[in-house]
Amino acid sequence: MARCAAFIFLLSFGVVSHLSHGIEVQVKNEDKLCLYANLTVSFSVTYEVAVNKKKTVSFGLPTSALSNESKCDKTSSVLKLSFADGHSWSVTFSLKDKSYQADAITFVYNLNDSNVFPDSSSKDTVTVKAKPDIKDVGVNMCYLCKSKDTIIASPQANMTLSDVLIQAFVINGTKSKNQTVCPADKPAPTTPTPTTVAPTTNATTVAPTTNATTVAPTTNATTVAPTTNTTTVAPATNATTAAPPTTPTPTLPTPTVGNYSIKHDANSTACLLANFGLRIGFTQNKKYQEVNFDPATEVSGSCGVDNSELTLVSNNITVSLSFYNDTKKFRLHALNVTINTSSGVFAQSSTNLSLWEAAVGSSYMCNKEQNFTITDLLSIYTFSLHVQPFGVKKGLYSTAEECLTDEESYLVPIAVGVALLVLILIVLLAYFIGRKRNMASGYQSF
Ligand SMILES: *[C@@H]1O[C@H](CO)[C@@H](O)[C@H](O)[C@H]1NC(C)=O
Ligand SMILES: *[C@@H]1O[C@H](CO)[C@@H](O)[C@H](O)[C@H]1NC(C)=O
Ligand SMILES: *[C@@H]1O[C@H](CO)[C@@H](O)[C@H](O)[C@H]1NC(C)=O
Ligand SMILES: *[C@@H]1O[C@H](CO)[C@@H](O)[C@H](O)[C@H]1NC(C)=O
Ligand SMILES: *[C@@H]1O[C@H](CO)[C@@H](O)[C@H](O)[C@H]1NC(C)=O
Ligand SMILES: *[C@@H]1O[C@H](CO)[C@@H](O)[C@H](O)[C@H]1NC(C)=O
Ligand SMILES: *[C@@H]1O[C@H](CO)[C@@H](O)[C@H](O)[C@H]1NC(C)=O
Ligand SMILES: *[C@@H]1O[C@H](CO)[C@@H](O)[C@H](O)[C@H]1NC(C)=O
């Protein structure tokens, strides 16, 4: 009996420690309430326990988290919750004109905390940032969002917010009764939004993630400084727009080419090289849109004998490329794209591709714009593409095998022309030889 009780106790404890509960926070400024929050946050983090061995843990923001580092100002406020052994979760808000928004979420986790991250091979403290989708909240209003919102902060960490009630700028020390409800909570798309001013969709920009975690050695060879304002995210929600959704996607500028490389370890030369500009076409909620992928601010990956990987993170987009070496040739065989848009997470992948093929020991190059349909909902456009996922020597590209479109347009017509010319010459030659012979034999044919 006692054993059974102990078992149940342990079981419930185990469950409880993984479930997340709402936490209520009241931040005061000179004894007056200035920021109010009541929300549930749960985290999912993947970390390395041994070489090429990973573990994923989930845990909630505990109710015991401390909020003493939170603060409020006239136009900016910070909700910071610290918990356990060196972890924290914070959100910064800013007030402008008649509304406020959340600017950034910062999640700091300490891999050295073995209660949360058992057997972690890294002891680092990792900081990841993301852009939350909390905006256009009226100045004296609470933001209410019961729906779950999963925010992917990095390939290794994501967090899910739910039952969120926040007032980041409390006026006169009393929490407002008026609420701005998030789009996800609104049942019918026809309900007019009484409170929110129809937002002119801004480019959602995620603050560049402080590079910290990574599976294998990460080399950030991005030479182009992250130009954050080039991301053009096409239109967002369908609920507020009155016009029929026939507006064509605006023509985007050519994406900036990113230069990426992966090393085996800190002081070896690159074992994987990739340069390209990338545009992504995707269909979300039946709406097709295109975005340019800015040069990644977070680059990770690995080089193997028959499989090499490259993961790129830029703003709210994560792209994973996986290359396969079949001993004679290599090719891009898997692709994962995850995009955090204002209407949710878009994720598509394919694992049986045969793209960018070239002989092992050489590189694949395609300067022209190319488009590839990955799935029904996803296509990619590449610009100035050059990759070598295997057999890189001295950190430099080997001879390039160019894509057909580049070669075809120049070489194939020339080759065909030359072949035709040779054929005509042979025919002519044969004719003259035949004729000469006939003449020499004195018009025997008659
Ligand atoms: C992110 O969240 C999903 C569930 O929504 C989970 O399955 C996945 O493992 C998480 N990824 C990471 C890297 O934690
Ligand atoms: C809050 O709601 C009340 C009643 O609906 C309204 O009179 C008041 O103007 C609202 N306040 C704000 C800040 O919108
Ligand atoms: C609007 O988008 C939501 C998902 O965000 C979808 O469930 C809904 O069906 C869409 N409404 C219309 C009218 O397309
Ligand atoms: C290689 O890295 C180690 C540390 O990992 C360092 O001590 C050593 O100096 C490096 N060697 C060179 C040649 O840079
Ligand atoms: C792509 O995502 C799926 C899950 O959505 C995962 O199982 C797979 O390992 C990912 N592939 C790459 C190449 O990252
Ligand atoms: C990839 O797999 C899907 C389904 O698994 C299949 O429909 C598709 O034809 C495959 N594509 C190739 C190029 O093999
Ligand atoms: C991709 O290329 C094909 C062939 O050039 C073209 O027909 C198609 O419209 C392109 N896709 C998009 C989305 O532009
Ligand atoms: C490609 O794979 C073959 C067989 O797995 C291996 O022998 C070869 O070394 C690999 N090539 C490179 C460049 O890694």
Q: Report pLDDT for 411.
A: 61
Percent of the chain with pLDDT over 70: 78
pTM of the complete model? 0.44
Average pLDDT, the chain: 81
In a domain, 170, yes or no: yes
The token pair that represents 137 in the structure block: 């909240």
Nearest CA among 276, 353, 358, 364 for reference residue 325: 358
| Residue 161: band (very low, low, confident or very high) from pLDDT cuts 50, 70, 90 | very high
User: Which ligand has the minimum distance to the alpha carbon of residue 152?
Assistant: 1
Are 37 and 137 found together in one domain? yes
Residue that the structure tokens 């573990």 belong to: 55
Q: Which residue has the higher pLDDT, 243 or 439?
A: 439
CA-proximal residue: ligand 7, atom 5 (nearest): 371
In a domain, 14, yes or no: no
Strand partners, 107: 89, 128
Fill in the amino acid letter for 178: N
Rg from Cα positions in the chain: 29
Averaged over 41-58, what is the pLDDT? 91
Averaged over 141-148, what is the pLDDT? 92
The token pair that represents 248 in the structure block: 């064509």
Which range marks the domain in which residue 89 is found?
23-184
Residue that the structure tokens 């136009």 belong to: 75
In a domain, 393, yes or no: yes
Q: Point out the ligand 3 atom lying closest to the alpha carbon of residue 344.
A: 5
Q: What is the dihedral of CA 94, 97, 100, 101, to 10 degrees?
A: -70
Q: Is the CB of 227 under 6 A from ligand 2?
A: no
Mutational test site, ligand 8, from 272, 309, 327, max ligand atoms within 8 Å of CB: 327
Do the Cβ atoms of 168 and 100 come closer than 8 Å?
Answer: yes
Residues with Cβ within 8 Å of residue 134, at least 6 apart in sequence: 101, 102, 143, 145, 164, 166, 182
Nearest CA among 40, 293, 303, 313 for reference residue 156: 313
Q: Report pLDDT for 423.
A: 87
125, 159, 184: which is the final residue of a domain?
184
User: Which ligand has the minimum distance to the alpha carbon of residue 324?
Assistant: 8
CA of 371 to the centre of ligand 7 (A): 7
| Residue 378: band (very low, low, confident or very high) from pLDDT cuts 50, 70, 90 | very high
Are 34 and 180 found together in one domain? yes
CA-proximal residue: ligand 3, atom 1 (nearest): 238
- Sign for the CA dihedral angle at 236, 241, 245, 246 comes to negative
Residue 243 has pLDDT above 70, yes or no: no
Q: Is the CB of 360 under 6 A from ligand 8?
A: yes
Mutational test site, ligand 2, from 178, 179, 193, max ligand atoms within 8 Å of CB: 178
CA-proximal residue: ligand 3, atom 7 (nearest): 285
Are 54 and 173 found together in one domain? yes
CA-proximal residue: ligand 3, atom 3 (nearest): 285
CA of 372 to the centre of ligand 7 (A): 8
Are 122 and 264 found together in one domain? no
The token pair that represents 128 in the structure block: 């990841």
Are 269 and 149 found together in one domain? no
The Cβ of residue 2 has, within 10 Å, a number of other Cβ atoms equal to: 6
In a domain, 251, yes or no: no
Q: Report pLDDT for 442.
A: 62
Q: Is the CB of 281 under 6 A from ligand 7?
A: yes
Query: What are the Cα distances from residue 81, in Å, to 7, 40, 64, 67, 142?
Result: 32, 12, 9, 5, 19
184, 211, 240: which is the final residue of a domain?
184
Q: Is the CB of 138 under 6 A from ligand 2?
A: yes
Q: Which residue has the higher pLDDT, 376 or 22?
A: 376
Return the beta strands (E) in 51-98 as ranges: 53-60, 71-72, 76-83, 87-96
In a domain, 390, yes or no: yes
CA distance 248 to 301: 36
Q: Report pLDDT for 443.
A: 57
Residue 144 has pLDDT above 80, yes or no: yes
Label the pairing between strands 329-341 and 317-325.
antiparallel
The Cβ of residue 440 has, within 10 Å, a number of other Cβ atoms equal to: 8
- The lowest-confidence range among 61-65, 93-97, 404-408 is 404-408
In a domain, 15, yes or no: no
Are 177 and 262 found together in one domain? no
CA distance 415 to 2: 87
Averaged over 107-126, what is the pLDDT? 92
Query: What are the Cα distances from residue 154, in Å, to 5, 271, 374?
Result: 40, 23, 23
CA distance 228 to 154: 17
Are 117 and 35 found together in one domain? yes
CA distance 154 to 132: 14
Residue 94 has pLDDT above 70, yes or no: yes
Are 160 and 266 found together in one domain? no
User: Which ligand has the minimum distance to the alpha carbon of residue 280?
Assistant: 7
CA of 421 to the centre of ligand 7 (A): 35
Are 262 and 373 found together in one domain? yes
CA of 259 to the centre of ligand 7 (A): 26
- The lowest-confidence range among 119-123, 146-150, 158-162, 403-407 is 403-407
In a domain, 287, yes or no: yes
Q: Report pLDDT for 221.
A: 40
User: Which ligand has the minimum distance to the alpha carbon of residue 54?
Assistant: 1
Q: Report pLDDT for 14.
A: 35
In a domain, 335, yes or no: yes
Summarised one tens digit per residue, pLDDT across range 272-324 is: 999 999 999 999 999 999 999 999 999 999 999 999 999 999 989 999 999 99
Q: Report pLDDT for 346.
A: 95
Do the Cβ atoms of 97 and 75 come closer than 8 Å?
Answer: no
The Cβ of residue 13 has, within 10 Å, a number of other Cβ atoms equal to: 10
Are 155 and 265 found together in one domain? no
Mutational test site, ligand 5, from 320, 332, 338, 355, max ligand atoms within 8 Å of CB: 320
Averaged over 78-85, what is the pLDDT? 93
User: Which ligand has the minimum distance to the alpha carbon of residue 306?
Assistant: 8
Residue 210 has pLDDT above 60, yes or no: no
CA-proximal residue: ligand 5, atom 1 (nearest): 336
Burial track 282-309 (b if 16+ CB lie within 10 A, e otherwise):
bebeebebbbbbbbbbbbbbbbbeebbb
Residue 270 has pLDDT above 50, yes or no: yes
Half-sphere exposure of 7 (CA within 13 A, CB side): 4
Q: Is the CB of 266 under 6 A from ligand 4?
A: yes
Averaged over 136-142, what is the pLDDT? 91
147, 165, 184: which is the final residue of a domain?
184
Q: Is the CB of 343 under 6 A from ligand 3?
A: yes
| Residue 189: band (very low, low, confident or very high) from pLDDT cuts 50, 70, 90 | low
Number of structural domains (the chain) is 2
Where residue 274 sits, what CATH number does that domain have? 2.40.160.110
Do the Cβ atoms of 43 and 56 come closer than 8 Å?
Answer: no
Q: Point out the ligand 3 atom lying closest to the alpha carbon of residue 238.
A: 1
